[in-house]
Structure 1
C-alpha cells in the first residue's frame, strides 16, 4: 500500500479513500498494460528469436546473445520495449511505495476524482472509484 502525502485538513475520509482507489486502479492498469505488451510484443519477439534460442540452449555465450540481437533488430527492439516498460513501472511503483506520492501526482488524482464525481455514474471509472 503506497504512503500518501499529507492531505489538506478539508479533505474528508471518503474523498481520500476514493483518491486511493483511483491510485490503485492506475497501478493495476499499468501492470495490465505491461502484461499485455509481454503477451503480444514480447511473445512475438521471442518467437522471432526461436532459432537463436535453440542454439543458446546448446552453447550459451554472451557473444551469441549479442549477435542474435544485432542481426534480429525487430525482435530485439520488441524485447527492449517490454523490458523498458516493465522497469519503468517497477521504478514508478517503488518510488510511490518508498517515498509516497509526489504532491503533483496527488493533486492530479484529486482532480480526477472531482471530475469523476461531477460526471456521476456515466463516467467509466465511477463504479470502481465512488462505489
Structure 2
C-alpha cells in the first residue's frame, strides 16, 4: 500500500498560536506585498518609458489619426516595445489579481504555510538574516 507522504514541517516545529509569531507572519506578508508593488513600479519606471520612446513616432500618428489598425501595425513592427509594455501590464494585472484574491478570500493555506516556514527560518538564523529587522525586530 502507498503511504501518504509526511509534510516537510509539522505544527510542533513552531508555535503558530504565539501572538508574536502571527504578527511576524503578517509583517512578512506585508513585505511580500510591498516587494511585488515595488517590482511593478520599477518595471513602469524602467521598461515602459523605453518602450514608449521607441513607439513615439507611432504615438504621434495615433494622435493625428487614431485607428485600431494603426495601433496593431505600430505594435506589430515594434515587437520589443510591445513585449515591454505587455510585460508591464501583465505584471501589474497579476499583482492586482493576487492581492485582490488575498483581500477577498484570505490567504490560501499553502501560502500561509510558506510564510510560516519562512518566518521560522528567519527566527532560526537570527539577526544575521536580511529580513530580521523588518520581520522580527
| Bigger RCO of structures 1 and 2 (CA < 8 A, at least 6 apart) | 1
Show the counterpart of 1:96.
Answer: 102
**Distance in 2 between the 1:10 and 1:125 partners?**
19
User: Structure 1 residue 65 and structure 2 residue 71: aligned?
Assistant: yes
* CA shift for structure 1 position 10: 5.2
Residue-by-residue CA offset, 1:86-113 (whole Å, 9 max, x unaligned): 1110110000000000000000000000
User: Structure 1 residue 116 and structure 2 residue 106: aligned?
Assistant: no
| Structure 2 unaligned residues grouped into runs of 5+ | 1-14
The two structures, once aligned, show a CA RMSD in angstroms of 1.1
Residue-by-residue CA offset, 1:1-55 (whole Å, 9 max, x unaligned): xxxxxxxx85111110000000000000000001111111111111110110111
Show the counterpart of 1:5.
Answer: none
Does the residue aligned with 1:101 lie in a helix, a strand or coil?
coil
* Structure 1 residue ranges, 4+ long, deviating more than 4 angstroms after superposition: none
| Structure 1 unaligned residues grouped into runs of 5+ | 1-8
* CA shift for structure 1 position 58: 1.3
Q: TM-score with structure 2 length normalisation?
A: 0.87
Show the counterpart of 1:6.
Answer: none
Does the residue aligned with 1:60 lie in a helix, a strand or coil?
coil
Confirm or deny: 8 A CA contact 2:16 2:22 kept in the other structure.
no
**Distance in 1 between the 2:65 and 2:26 partners?**
50
Distance 1:47 1:62, change over 3 A: same
Show the counterpart of 1:126.
Answer: 132
**Distance in 1 between the 2:118 and 2:71 partners?**
45
Work out which of the residue numbers 14, 38, 57 in structure 2 matches 1:51.
57
